Structure 1
Amino acid sequence: MSGWDGIDEFIAVATASSFTRAAKAIGMSPTHVSRSIIALEQRVQAQLFHRTTRTVRLTDTGRVFFERCARIAQERDEAIALIGEQGEPQGELRVTCPTAMGERFIAPIIRRFAMPYPKLNVTIDLSNRVVDLVGEGYDLGIRTGAVGDARLIAARVASRTLYTCAAPSYLERAGTPGAVADLAHHECIAGTSTTWRFSNGSDHQLHRPKGRFRSNSGQAVIEACIAGLGICQLPDFYILPYLKRGMVVNVLEDVRSADEPIWAVYPQRRHLLPKIQRVVECLQHELAAAMRE
């Protein structure tokens, strides 16, 4: 028996707070993970987790043990990556990204990135939910706005501008809003965001859109806007093609909020892996240009 037996399983369960999610993250069966934890507890002669039918949480002893083990595991993984991979991206690269941005920009960029590296296997999961990268075993995520998870490193790869627009036909019928407060008297087409943001530099305002049409698809929202159903707020890559052709009109431009950062985020334990370093560099080089096209 190795002194390391059960440590990876322990770290995975402590991180995910679940035997099932931990097993998925490390590619093992839940039964194997459970048995490994039991054997580890017997070896260290201490209970590491409080278990109920619904929750798994660290004991005080388990918390101290986890902090030490996580640090050692990080150093081990970095040493193996630096020597074993010899600078060439390889192994599994699991990426999660918002659906629309992933389809239009991230997936094509990462596909081109992966082509010269035959030892690299890529999985791209497109989802608009905020994925727990550490708990679910992802290597990289694409996020917008603020990143508040201390377990993650964030590298800015691009930015996006939010536009508030309406079709000329709607504005002829309903009038043009002159201030954010006027939106309360207009039909607003809501997307995935529950609030719209506005700023004139020092003063920041929020508006909660209300109207007869709502969709979690940005494309459906812009099409409803073009049809004259109301006012929408969407990122530049949805709006600009139609704005340039006059199919929608920019409103409240004087209070448009500052550009929103786009981040590549990844668990701290992976920050020296060549596959992470290279793909982040690729995104920083290509994403902003692709979104302007």
Structure 2
Amino acid sequence: MQRWDRIEAFVEVVRLGTFSAAARHLQVSTSHVSRLVSQLESQLGVQLLYRTTRQIRLTDAGELYVTHCRHLFDGLRDAEQAISELQSKPHGTLRLTSATTFGERFIAPLVNEFQVMHPQLDVHMHFTNRAVELIEEGYDIAIRMGVLKDSSLIARRLCERREYIVGSRDYFRQTPPPHTLTELGQHRCLVGSRPYWLFESHGQRREIKVESCWHGNSGPALLDAARKGLGLAQLPDYYVAPYLASGELIAVLEPFQHHDTAVWAVYPRHRHLSPKIRQLVDYLVEHIHRMLSEGGI
């Protein structure tokens, strides 16, 4: 470290032309700079500078030495610039997982837009309705729905998400719509990958396990069953919005709708969050509502 300080003092004296200018740049005293250069000359066993009261001039050895030293400092500046760019531009491989339908319809187009802007980034997207272990399975970001479990992960809200109990007009021609949660026992219920339905009653979250005549782990299949009058289903807004608007499906039990079922971007807690994660999450937050509106929600 002492040698590096001496070299830096010598290079700055040559670059700026005087010991005092070099001292101001390095924020030390002029005598300290003079002492460092003298120590460097003693260390090398050669004189690097001719000193007069008016100017300094390089010796032949000094000319040779400063040429090589400049390469060191140019390399240092290049290294610092590379680190700065590394911290500002997304790079490397980004692994993202999301629930299938929401991810395919709304997240993937935004991630694709982001990669167009950052072609140096490699993106791996995995769509599954399984609860992925983010860190253990090596993912950078997970898009998760509903109420989050307590964890050490960081979560940013992307958008609201509402779940509706819906049935078709044909279904309600045969069976009167329910007005209370206890009346669900009188209905044919269609159950997806979650074994319960989520409600809010008297300000409290309620999970109700319903008796089902239909089971499936596919949102589109569940939607199709509800549209064909097989029974009631609980589905999020991005599935049912167009059918509620057209009147093909009818929402019931809306006073019991749970109001904290958002969509979240979840990622591990890091002291220095990488640009690829930070900037992609920022992009999703900024543009998700545009994508939802284009999808009719």
Determine whether 1:177 maps to 2:178: yes
1:161 aligned partner: 162
- Matched residue SS, 1:213: strand
2:290 aligned partner: 289
1:135 aligned partner: 136
- Matched residue SS, 1:85: helix
1:143–1:265 Cα contact (<8 Å) kept: yes
- Matched residue SS, 2:94: strand
Cα RMSD of the aligned pairs, angstroms, is: 2.0
Summarize the alignment of residues 26-37 of structure 1 with structure 2, pairs less than 5 Å apart: none
Q: TM-score, normalised by structure 1?
A: 0.69
CA distance in 2, matches of 1:269, 1:81: 21
* Deviation sequence 1:8-65 (CA, Å, 0-9, x none): xxxxxxxxxxxxxxxxxxxxxxxxxxxxxxxxxxxxxxxxxxxxxxxxxxxxxxxxxx
1:103 aligned partner: 104
CA distance in 2, matches of 1:82, 1:251: 56
Determine whether 1:89 maps to 2:96: no
* Deviation sequence 1:101-140 (CA, Å, 0-9, x none): 1111111110011111121000001111111111111111
2:223 aligned partner: 222
2:148 aligned partner: 146
Amino acid of the structure 2 residue aligned with 1:121: D
2:240 aligned partner: 239
Deviation at 1:80, TM superposition (A): 11
CA distance in 1, matches of 2:81, 2:280: 19
Deviation at 1:81, TM superposition (A): 9.8
Q: TM-score, normalised by structure 2?
A: 0.68
Shift of the 168–137 alpha-carbon distance from structure 1 to 2, 3 Å rule, reads same
- Matched residue SS, 2:212: coil
- Matched residue SS, 1:243: helix
CA distance in 2, matches of 1:125, 1:269: 22
1:159–1:288 Cα contact (<8 Å) kept: no
1:271–1:277 Cα contact (<8 Å) kept: no
Amino acid of the structure 2 residue aligned with 1:149: S
1:93–1:120 Cα contact (<8 Å) kept: yes
CA distance in 2, matches of 1:266, 1:81: 26
1:97–1:127 Cα contact (<8 Å) kept: yes
CA distance in 1, matches of 2:250, 2:282: 36
1:272 aligned partner: 273
Shift of the 232–272 alpha-carbon distance from structure 1 to 2, 3 Å rule, reads same
Deviation at 1:166, TM superposition (A): 0.5
CA distance in 2, matches of 1:241, 1:115: 30
Deviation at 1:205, TM superposition (A): 3.1
What is the percentage of aligned positions where both structures have the same residue? 36
* Deviation sequence 1:255-292 (CA, Å, 0-9, x none): 11114121111111375211111100011012233224
Shift of the 134–80 alpha-carbon distance from structure 1 to 2, 3 Å rule, reads farther
1:120 aligned partner: 121
1:54 aligned partner: none
1:81–1:272 Cα contact (<8 Å) kept: no
Amino acid of the structure 2 residue aligned with 1:92: T
- Matched residue SS, 2:191: coil
Summarize the alignment of residues 34-45 of structure 1 with structure 2, pairs less than 5 Å apart: none
Shift of the 82–193 alpha-carbon distance from structure 1 to 2, 3 Å rule, reads farther
Shift of the 112–251 alpha-carbon distance from structure 1 to 2, 3 Å rule, reads same
More displaced, 183-192 or 200-209? 200-209
- Matched residue SS, 1:118: coil
Determine whether 1:197 maps to 2:198: yes
Deviation at 1:247, TM superposition (A): 0.6
- Matched residue SS, 1:181: helix
Amino acid of the structure 1 residue aligned with 2:222: V
1:198–1:204 Cα contact (<8 Å) kept: yes
- Higher radius of gyration, 1 or 2: 2
CA distance in 1, matches of 2:144, 2:83: 27
Amino acid of the structure 2 residue aligned with 1:118: P
2:162–2:262 Cα contact (<8 Å) kept: no
